[in-house]
Amino acid sequence: MDLNSINQALQGVIDPDTGTDLVSGKYIKQIKADGGKVLLNIEFGYPARSQFEAMRERVVQAVRAVPGVSEVSVQIEQRIVAHAVQRGVKLLPNVKNIIAVASGKGGVGKSTTAVNLALALAAEGARVGILDADIYGPSLPTMLGVHGKPQSQDGKTLEPLEGHGLQASSIGFLIEPDNPMVWRGPMVTQALEQLLNQTNWRDLDYLVVDMPPGTGDIQLTLAQKVPVTGAVIVTTPQDIALLDARKGLKMFEKVGVPILGIVENMSMHICSNCGHQEPIFGAGGGERMCAEYGVDLLGSLPLDIHIREQADAGQPTVVADPNGPIAAVYRQVARRVAVKIAEKAKDMTGKFPNIVVQNT
């Protein structure tokens, strides 16, 4: 038994979320061989806790097949780091990566997708927050089932409220539910910046920002002033929805925010009585858009009454039915988003000292 033989065995173990083997993907952080005993340390660069046990079994099986190996011990962990953002924009304190979830138009299930994406990232082992950037129509308090006013310990900043393990901030926590926000654009963008910068986020791996629909003031403010790691575009297969989704995608491209991928919502209607499936909004629209712009289709979600009922009840699908097929799709989308981020360049701004020029 030698390390070369073990490495060759590990080259045959593929990570299904990245399509790369453990050696090429640099997952292996340490190999110790003592007699017939082998100890392996594996590190994921993205949250994938639900995949750990299956990966451990594949690794043990592969290494046990190496002649001379009698015992295999595998330790798996994950380490999520900050990645590069738009040029000239600094990272937020205590927030490693910001994911903008956007759509060109309303009514495509963007907020439901954002909340379930955040919950899925948390279920995979990440520390996650969510910011409701829809100042005019905040839905986060209802979807998370969180109510009450945020506290301030210093009179200047707000402590995030928590729901289902997520740190959350929303204008909806500060106003009455039926109180309309009759504000002009500059006030809305200022409110967004305050919610983002004056919330005491606590050591987040990911902050998911639920964007309002459209490509107006709030979207431009977030794209130009907020350190966004990448954007997820939510659409339906319908041609009209795709037209507006293209506008959202192009907006992020123009300001230098990478597109992590597209989520096709309401791809198939599932009848709650008989289970019949019908593409009432059309079929293949998300795939065509991905092919047109060279981005990934992260996942397709059905039009299912349970998704709506669970969100309205403050128990989104990922927590209401964590082992169900729809929650599995959300978790797969979350891992694909996290993989796309992990493949990006790491943020190195904190590695370099500040250079000060003084007259002496």
For residues 64 and 132, state if they share a domain: no
Both 57 and 204 in a single domain? no
Tens digits of residue pLDDT in 132-180: 988 777 889 999 999 888 888 888 889 999 999 999 999 888 877 776 6
Domain assignment present for residue 356? The answer is: no
The reply to whether 269 and 183 lie within a common domain is: yes
**pLDDT tens by residue, 196-242:** 889 999 999 999 999 887 767 777 777 778 899 999 999 888 877 88
Flag whether pLDDT at 360 surpasses 90.
no
94 to each of 125, 202, 207, 295, how far by Cα in Å? 17, 6, 10, 29
CATH of the domain at 16: 3.30.300.130
Cross-strand bridge partners of residue 41: 30, 75
**Domain count across the chain:** 2
User: 65 with 115, same domain?
Assistant: no
pLDDT at 87 over 60: yes
**Would 9 be classed as within a structural domain?**
yes
CA 215 to chain centre: 21
If asked whether residues 102 and 222 sit together in one domain, one would say yes
Q: Answer whether residue 209 is part of any domain.
A: yes
Report pTM: 0.90
Angle of helix 110-123 relative to helix 305-312, nearest 10 degrees, comes to 80
- Please check the confidence at residue 352 and state whether its pLDDT lies above 50: no
* 281 and 220 together in one domain: yes
Q: What does the mean pLDDT of the chain come to? A: 87
* In a shared domain, residues 66 and 121: no
What's the average model confidence in pLDDT over 74-87?
A: 90
Kindly state whether residues 187 and 218 are assigned to the same domain.
Answer: yes
Is residue 41 predicted with pLDDT exceeding 60? yes
pLDDT given for residue 154 in this prediction: 83
Domain annotation covers residue 300: yes
CATH number at residue 128: 3.40.50.300
pLDDT digits 0-9 by tens, 303-340: 888 999 999 999 999 999 999 999 999 999 999 999 99
Tell me the three state secondary structure of residue 101: strand
Integer Cα distance of 254 and 34 in angstroms: 55
pLDDT in tens, 93-137: 899 999 999 887 777 889 999 999 999 999 999 999 999 988 777
Would residue 83 count as lying in a domain? no
**Residue 347 pLDDT exceeds 50:** yes
267 lies in which domain range? 95-342
The residue out of 27, 44, 78 marking a domain boundary is 78
> How would residue 359 be classed by pLDDT, with cut points 50, 70 and 90?
low
Residues making up the annotated binding site are: 104-111
Tell me 131's DSSP state: E
* Residue pLDDT, tens place only, 178-188: 766 666 767 87
- Checking if the pLDDT of 275 tops 90, the result is no
Instruction: For residue 118, tell me if it sits in a domain.
Output: yes
Task: Say what the pLDDT of residue 183 is.
Answer: 67
Q: What are the binding residues for ATP?
A: 104-111
Query: Are 266 and 317 in a shared domain?
Result: yes
